[in-house]
Amino acid sequence: MTDTLTPDAEVARICRDLIRIDSSNYGDGSGPGERACAEYVMAELTEVGLDPMYVESAPGRANVLVRIEGSDRSRPGLVVHGHLDVVPANAADWQVDPFAAEVRDGCIWGRGAVDMKDMDAMILANVRHLARSGEKPPRDLVFGFFADEEAGGLLGSHWVVDNHPEVFEGVSEAISEVGGFSITVPAKGTGDPTRAYLLQTAEKGMAWLRLTAHGRAGHGSVPNDENAIVRLAAAIGRIDAHVWPREYIGSVRQLLDGLSEITGARYDDASPEPILAHLGGARGFVLGSLQDTATLTMLQAGYKHNVVPQTAAASLDCRFLPGHEDELMTTIGELAGEFVAIEVLQRDIALDVPFSGDLVDQMKQALLAEDPGASILPYCLSGGTDNKALSILGITGYGFAPLRLPAELDFSSMFHGIDERVPVDSLEFGARVLRRLLAAC
């Protein structure tokens, strides 16, 4: 069977279709869920003759999985996965309707355009191509579209791993977000722009904490030296003022050294700024990988203007480097102080995998076939992905959602930001790279 509709020919259509489906994840179960997106994926897969698996971890929290057999079934398989949920978007903050998938200035605008309905579209376009063409990949491929990644994956990848591990039988490796995208840097000597692609080989661990300060309730007109809000504010001040020590893990060191070689810029551990200045839209991701972080994100306190509340609470998003989990938790405990209790709402591991091996070589080759002369470097993601869940099954995961990006695009700010958008030609480039990889791996 001949397939005349290649993945790059329909990836933009699929991406726009997915963005138009609001799958916002508020983290409290109040959003629309992923069912509508999952049903769309199911329809796209069944249309080309596949028989995907649809499972819900809770009403509306949908996951879709499908396996395509490879020509050598004795080889360990590969998981190619994405998540269907997105973070909420306040339409009033945007230049366009965040769920209209408008095309403007050569880009598709909308919530999920880079996180991560762009990669979902690349995956789906390539699965459809494989099914239509009848091509057999070299090894089994398991394609997954998960729920709930934006709230830690408890109703998505973690639930599937816990309840349907058989789906991943015989699988050893995985690819997903956030890697394979380009940055543009000046070449040593000439200053001419040259591209480097960042392939994700590590990601920080996560600890979502609730800090609850306890005090004495009372009337607002009466002095109170056990005010829970004051105690919480003091803890917040200490945590915010804390200087986390820097550590350059292997993937970060390789990235900075590689960029130094490409650009000729020098740096030292105390001052990496000469290198960070060349990172453009990836600067935020890399800056977050130099140390552990603890970021205050929400506050809850009080219920009436003249009442001192008995408790006050804050939400803390902590991200730790591989091997730093215990140290981070100890430090937060010391900074919070005796009047503040710490509750762990969600916790997940850090990952660190080799920048070597057949799969890494094949990812490099797929990129270079579409962009000869580029460089490829490893990096550590400051956030997290569903690769954490798959690692429980011994699956080695990489971030590889390939995009050749314009130098001026502030890529990292697009994640969970306003006016999120992805260039159409970047999407088409990614679909071609992914096609090459799946045909070779």
pLDDT mean across residues, the chain: 95
- Predicted local distance difference test score (pLDDT) of residue 277: 87
pLDDT of 4 reads 66
Give the mean model confidence (pLDDT) for residues 13-27. 97
pLDDT in tens, 219-278: 999 999 999 999 999 999 999 999 999 999 999 999 999 999 999 999 988 888 888 888
Per cent of the chain over pLDDT 90 is 90
How confident is the model over 131-156, as a mean pLDDT?
Answer: 96
Distance CA 57, CA 147 (A): 9
pLDDT score of 209 more than 80: yes
| 268-273 contact pairs (CB < 8 A, 24+) | none
Q: Which fold is adopted by the domain 203-348?
A: Alpha-Beta Plaits (3.30.70)
Lowest mean pLDDT among 57-66, 146-155, 409-418: 409-418
Give the three-state DSSP class for 23.
coil
Tokens of 65: 């999985």
Return phi, psi of residue 74, to 5°.
Answer: -80, -15
Mapped onto helix, strand or coil, the DSSP state of residue 132 is: helix
Q: What is the pLDDT of residues 415-437, one digit of tens each?
A: 999 999 999 999 999 999 999 99
Tokens of 153: 């994956």
- Going by pLDDT thresholds of 50, 70 and 90, the confidence category of residue 285 is confident
Provide the edge-to-edge strand list for the sheet that holds 293-301: 293-301, 311-320, 205-214, 340-348
Out of 3.10.20.30, 3.90.1570.10, 3.40.630.30, 3.40.630.10, which CATH number does the structure's domain 7-183+353-440 have?
Answer: 3.40.630.10
**Domain ranges, ordered by start, for the chain:** 7-183+353-440, 203-348
Within 10 Å of residue 177's Cβ, how many Cβ atoms?
28
Q: Indicate whether 1 pLDDT > 50.
A: no
Six token digits for residue 74: 């004795």
pTM of the model: 0.92
**What integer pLDDT is reported at residue 270 of this predicted model?**
87
Same fold, 7-183+353-440 and 203-348: no
pLDDT category at 3 given cuts 50, 70, 90 is low
